Amino acid sequence: GAGVSQSPSNKVTEKGKDVELRCDPISGHTALYWYRQSLGQGLEFLIYFQGNSAPDKSGLPSDRFSAERTGGSVSTLTIQRTQQEDSAVYLCASSLVGPEQYFGPGTRLTVT
Partner 1 sequence: AQSVSQHNHHVILSEAASLELGCNYSYGGTVNLFWYVQYPGQHLQLLLKYFSGDPLVKGIKGFEAEFIKSKFSFNLRKPSVQWSDTAEYFCAVNSMNSGYSTLTFGKGTMLLVSP
Q: Which residues contact partner 1 by CB under 8 A?
A: 31, 33, 35, 40-45, 48, 50, 55-56, 59, 91, 93, 98-106
Q: Rounded to whole angstroms, what are the CA distances from 106 to 55, 67, 97? A: 23, 16, 22
* Closest to 73 (Cα-Cα) out of 92, 56, 100, 88: 92
- Between residues 80 and 110, which has the closer beta carbon with respect to partner 1? 110
Q: How far is the CB of 75 from partner 1 (least distance, A)?
A: 15
- Least Å distance, CB 41 to partner 1, is 6
Min dist. Cβ of residue 15 to partner 1 (A): 27
- CA geometry: angle at 109 spanning 106 and 112, to 5°? 170
Q: 34 or 79: whose CB is closer to partner 1? A: 34
